[in-house]
């Protein structure tokens, strides 16, 4: 904490003296010879957003470093445009090797990860969908699970943007001003954690609902008893994780606080609003179509098919046999079962 205070005081002193925050994130630019380095440095001084460019002594391997200092620090996606300008201005000059520094790392990470993010997201969604089709023997339940997971993660990103980036809650809760942007590696980490944890809860609940439907052939019974058997488990697990992430949010680093609050809020939102309300409501709404798996797709995935059949109407007070039947619900007569005493 003391070192952080010294750094803040130093930055404040530099700002008061007319020195921008760009001195915190210089951009070392490598050139193959000293003569060419002077040309590169002169070119960089004319780039908008650059405060200075200084040629360092040549190294033993013949590579010269040109230290380019931007006016403002380059730490996130809102401030790295100047790095692209520096590269574009010098990439065709003789002797140019490359640009390094924090801003270049952020820019390269964005191009390597976020430019292909939609392809990665599509692949993750497709693989998850196929695995869940085999698990639930259904087309609609896996599709709903993937879509609700994406909606849940999107809601969390909206929350942390409002809370941290815009500063509507960070100052009130943690005494930290608006960050203005998220650290470049946080969105991928948050997505990976939340998508996996949320899908765990989905599998717990829907797998139990599928078991209850196979026993009775009734969607209403499957929703009621499937959620009743798994609700406490999911809620308890979510609370454990929420309090663990709340404790993690007490760490001094702002990035850790952002990660912890995003995961904690995401787990709580997913286990309450999504899994306890939206999932059972949508399963009840879709009725018999939840359990449909055509024979052709079932053969391809090497599982039993699940044809469309009318929902069974169960009498009040009916309790299913705790041992599943030897035949799936699709092969049984849609008769009213007897009420067990």
Task: Characterise 180 by phi-psi region: left (phi > 0), alpha (psi -120 to 50), beta (else).
Answer: left
Q: What is the pTM of this model?
A: 0.79
Q: In whole angstroms, give the CA distance from residue 266 to residue 193.
A: 10
Tell me what pLDDT residue 283 has: 95
Contact 117, 140 (CB under 8 A): no
b/e sequence 107-124, b meaning 16+ C-beta within 10 Å: beeeeeeeeeeeeeeeeb
Low-confidence ranges of the chain (pLDDT < 50): 1-5, 326, 334-341
If DSSP states are collapsed to H, E and C, what string results for the chain? Answer: CHHHHHHHHHHHHHHHCCCCHHHHCCEEEEECCHHHHHHHHHHHHCCCCEEEEEECCCCCCCCEEEEEEECCCCCCCCCCHHHHHHHHHHCCCCCEEEECCHHHHHHHHHHHHHHHHHHHHHHHHHHHHHHHHHHHCCCHHHHHHHHHHHHHHHHHHHHHHHHHHCCCCHHHHHCCCCCCCCCCCHHHHHHHHHHHHHHHHHHHHHHHHHHHHHHHCCHHHHHHHHHHHHHHHHHHHHHHHHHHHHHHCCCCCHHHHHHHHHHHHHHHHHHHHHHHHHHHHHHHHHHHHHHCECHHHHHHHCCCCECCCCCCCCCCCCCCCCCCCCCCHHHCCCCCCCCCC
Pick from 54, 70, 67: which is nearest to 103 by CA? 70
- pLDDT for 144-187, tens place per residue? 999 999 999 999 999 999 999 999 989 889 999 888 888 888 99
96-99 and 27-31 as β-strands: parallel, antiparallel, unpaired?
A: antiparallel
Tell me what pLDDT residue 32 has: 85
Task: Characterise 314 by phi-psi region: left (phi > 0), alpha (psi -120 to 50), beta (else).
Answer: beta
Tell me what pLDDT residue 3 has: 45
Tell me what pLDDT residue 200 has: 86
């Amino acid at each position: 904490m003391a070192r952080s205070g010294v750094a803040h005081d130093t930055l404040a002193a530099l700002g008061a003296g007319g020195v921008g925050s760009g001195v915190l994130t210089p951009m070392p630019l490598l050139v193959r010879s000293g003569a060419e380095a002077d040309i590169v440095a002169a070119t960089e001084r004319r780039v908008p957003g650059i405060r200075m460019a200084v040629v360092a002594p040549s190294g033993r391997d013949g590579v010269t470093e040109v230290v380019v200092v931007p006016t403002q620090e380059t730490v996130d996606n809102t401030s790295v445009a100047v790095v692209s300008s520096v590269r574009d201005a010098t990439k065709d000059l003789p002797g140019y090797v490359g640009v390094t520094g924090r801003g270049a790392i952020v820019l390269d990470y964005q191009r390597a990860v976020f430019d292909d993010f939609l392809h990665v997201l599509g692949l993750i969604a497709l693989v998850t969908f196929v695995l869940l089709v085999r698990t639930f023997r259904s087309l609609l339940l896996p599709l709903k699970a993937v879509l609700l997971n994406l909606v849940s993660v999107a809601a969390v990103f909206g929350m942390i943007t409002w809370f941290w980036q815009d500063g509507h809650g960070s100052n009130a809760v943690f005494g930290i001003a608006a960050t203005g942007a998220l650290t470049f590696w946080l969105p991928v980490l948050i997505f990976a954690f939340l998508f996996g944890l949320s899908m765990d809860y989905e599998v717990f609940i829907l797998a139990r609902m599928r078991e209850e439907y196979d026993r009775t052939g009734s969607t209403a019974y499957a929703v009621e008893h499937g959620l009743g058997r798994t609700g406490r488990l999911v809620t308890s697990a979510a609370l454990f994780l929420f309090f663990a992430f709340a404790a993690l949010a007490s760490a001094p680093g702002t990035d850790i606080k952002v990660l912890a609050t995003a995961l904690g809020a995401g787990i709580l939102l997913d286990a309450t609003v999504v899994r306890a309300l939206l999932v059972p409501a949508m399963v009840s709404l879709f009725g018999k179509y939840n359990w449909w798996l055509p024979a052709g797709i079932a053969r391809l995935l090497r599982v039993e098919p699940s044809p469309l059949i009318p929902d069974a109407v169960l009498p009040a007070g009916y309790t299913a046999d705790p041992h599943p039947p030897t035949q799936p619900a699709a092969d049984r007569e849609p008769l009213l079962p007897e009420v067990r005493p």
